[in-house]
Amino acid sequence: MKQLIQLTERGLIPDFLIRLGIQRLLRERLSELSTENCENRLLLQNRFLHALGQSDIAELPEKANEQHYEVPSEFFLQVLGPHLKYSCGWWDDSINNLEQSEEAALKKTCENADLQDGQNVLELGCGWGSLSLWMAKHYPNSKITSVSNSTSQKAFIDQRAQKRGLENLEVITCDMNDFETKKRFERIVSVEMFEHMRNWPVLFNKVASWMKKDSKFLMHVFCHGKTPYFFEAVNDDDWMARYFFSGGIMPSDQLPYLIDSKLKVEQHWRWDGTHYQKTSLAWLAEMDGTRDTLFPVFYKNLWERCRNLVATMATFLPCRCRVIRIQPGSGMVGKSL
């Protein structure tokens, strides 16, 4: 397996074989975790929940930051859509390109969060600012506060906001282990950050402390339909955990319902895995189309590593995205969807 990974990182394995290999590894991983015995399934679930509660909020924040943002910024500017949405887009029959997919996903996020102009909004894990800048533009009387673990992201977002004349956006650089605020917000949103977090119970309670009585929290994560698991680099097969997702988790579809916290689930939406598959294939096409421009700014195997990451994400059919709107209140422990 180690030799195959090395060949893949040298660009010597075609995409269809990479995907077949990824699908085989996924099947092997899930076969280790799945069980038809309800008692064993409950035991695995409880072990996972116990491990979450014993972890830091973010297990390896510096590693995650390094893995995703050591990549030259030019990569994101060339490969992502114009809004630089580094997360799942929305695709239906009316969507023809990546820009439309980004805009449709941003609109849906704001609708699902029940955003209203004039609210104080907190975004946790703002990436390159796609949602933050969108909210600041479309809700001009709102005050947007966004948190990123990357100083380069903050500088980039600040520059874009200044160019666009947006004065209602503040970006804070902080590790989620350390982030605290005395402010209270009508809305809190987070898109594909909680997969990088471990101690959901503690973080859920922190989120509750930043909310007003009638506030709402929208969390968007990718997930597996049945089984949560950790990304851990145990052997050579654990390529994703080693290079791109150290300290991360794959949530299960019902995981938010199992967290004992001061929050309760109000509403949920599911996006099937084809949305991420199409998003990743669009990124892959942009990446291949700009190879001659981008390749010189990468070092060693990083280009192929990034390309393999995107190819991996294009196998997301067994997975899905889950969008959950949450309110302050008693946690719904044990409730499934």
Residue 326 near residue 264 (C-beta atoms within 8 A): yes
Axis-axis angle for helices 38-53, 200-209 (nearest 10): 60
Which pLDDT belongs to residue 337?
34
Handedness of CA 88, 268, 143, 191 (dihedral sign): negative
Three-state secondary structure call for residue 246:
coil
DSSP state string for 186-221: EEEEEES-GGG-S-HHHHHHHHHHTEEEEEEEEEEE
**How would you write the pLDDT of the chain (337 residues) with one tens digit per residue?**
566 656 555 666 777 777 777 777 777 777 777 666 778 778 888 999 999 999 999 987 766 666 555 567 788 999 999 999 999 999 999 999 999 999 999 999 999 999 999 999 999 999 999 999 999 999 999 999 999 998 989 999 999 999 999 999 999 999 999 999 999 999 999 999 999 999 999 999 999 999 999 999 999 999 888 888 888 767 766 666 666 777 889 899 999 999 999 999 999 999 988 999 899 999 989 988 988 887 777 655 566 666 666 766 666 555 567 788 888 875 544 333 3
Backbone angles phi, psi at 222, to 5 degrees: -90, 155
Q: Tokens 């600040």 — which residue? A: 158
Which pLDDT belongs to residue 101?
98
Domain 2-328: top CATH class: alpha beta
Which pLDDT belongs to residue 186?
98
The residue ranges of every structural domain in the chain are: 2-328
pTM summary value: 0.88
Q: Which one-letter amino acid corresponds to residue 188?
A: I
Which pLDDT belongs to residue 236?
64
